[in-house]
Amino acid sequence: MQGGNGKVNPFEIAKQQVDIVKEYLDVGEGVIEKLKHTKRDLIVHFPVKMDDGSIMMCTGYRIVHNDVRGPAKGGIRYHPDVDLNEVRALSMWMTWKAAVVNIPFGGAKGGVQCNPKEMSRTEIENLTRRFTWEIAPLIGPESDIPAPDVYTNPQVMAWIMDTYSILKGYSVPGVVTGKPLEMGGSVGRLEATGKGVFITAREAAKYRDLPMEGARVVIQGAGNVGGVAAQFFDKAGAKVIAISDSKGGIYNPKGLNLDSALACKRHYSCFLTDKLEAEEITNEELLELKCDILVPAALEGQITSKNAPNLKCKIVVEGANGPTTPEADNIIFERGIFLVPDILANAGGVTVSYFEWVQNLQELLWSEEEVASRLENILTRSFREVVEIAEKKKVNMRTAAYILGVGRVAKTQELRGIYP
């Protein structure tokens, strides 16, 4: 599963995950083979004007994996390590994610290879608008709908919507989700993924008879997923004992002062242990801490066959996409650790994105209570459906989620057929 540079190939992992469940699906081999390929890979190379007047060439991707159940849906990430196979895998996982929660979307994903931490706001705007222009012929509210992802946010979505609208000659709020509220965004969207991680973790804890009050939680990642999830765990009475960002993390076995930790992160762009009652810890050490609930909410490929035997948690809830390799999955299952897979655990984002898209198309606004209630109902129902499959088939939760998600897409593909 590794390329020549030693990096895990996420697209090969994504295809292997489909192969694992095909024996449980009553569909033809040709349908399964089609689902292991993306529908469209768009690669663009474009110039960006920098503040000093120089030109930086960037490479961007917009991949559509599958759209048989509805418009393709998926975020756009800005990161130095973005590459074609990563984006392909992420687009495939989006397909299964939408299907698991039974939302009429297909899967897509996008990204630009860049380092936004070293760019000014103006440079990021220039990059965003030029990238939007390059992919504009293929995106749209009825075809392919971007959203925020790693190092993108509502402001980036506002620039995408504005650029696309200028091209069309009228406002098209439905072209993206995760927009600012002032531009047709939905209440509850910003915290939706992190909140969904908490909801599925809470359901997993109930299933395993683990009280949430006092539960020790370790979170890798402190952004819109990890940081938001941490706040929901804290409000529910759990103790977040460790949290990290890309530079490293902090740990206090008695529980962190979460408000102070996140305020420190926002103010200094990192965690400073001299300002907090905590000790420094690496991301590698964090994953192996003794805890009740472990939430990998950073990047893919974090839990592998090397560190899976060393996990000291009772439940893993995948806030990130693809944080666990198939080899690690088997080890975790054999060790009796209950894992909530990414395509269920972090589906809160795509669920509320769907709510936002529906509101845009209908030109109406839902209340915060409506959004919260609908999200809760969809995720708790989906959790029950996956658990029932896991129990019936005697498989782990990821396999069960794939049986549900891939099965729904495969059945739709078979019903639609292949033209001509």
Which residues are part of the catalytic machinery? 109
The label of the residue with tokens 């000093």 reads 52
The label of the residue with tokens 């029950």 reads 384
List the one residue out of 52, 44, 75 whose CA is nearest residue 123. 52
Return the SS3 of 44: strand
Token output for 81 = 């390590």
List the one residue out of 241, 120, 293, 245 whose CA is nearest residue 128. 120
Q: DSSP string spanning 138-194?
A: T-BTTTEEEEE-TT--HHHHHHHHHHHHHHHTS--GGG-SS--GGGTPPTTSTTHHH
The label of the residue with tokens 């940081």 reads 227
Residue 143, number of CB atoms within 10 A of its CB:
15
Contact 113, 59 (CB under 8 A): yes
Question: Rounded to an integer, what distance in angstroms lies between the CA atom of residue 54 and that of residue 290?
Answer: 49
Sign of dihedral through CA atoms 414, 40, 300, 111? negative
Residue 75, beta-bridge partner list: 147
List the one residue out of 77, 85, 96 whose CA is nearest residue 342. 96
Burial pattern 289-309, b for ≥16 Cβ within 10 A else e, equals bebbbbbbbbbbbbbbeeebe
Residue 122, number of CB atoms within 10 A of its CB:
11
Question: Rounded to an integer, what distance in angstroms lies between the CA atom of residue 371 and that of residue 14?
Answer: 31
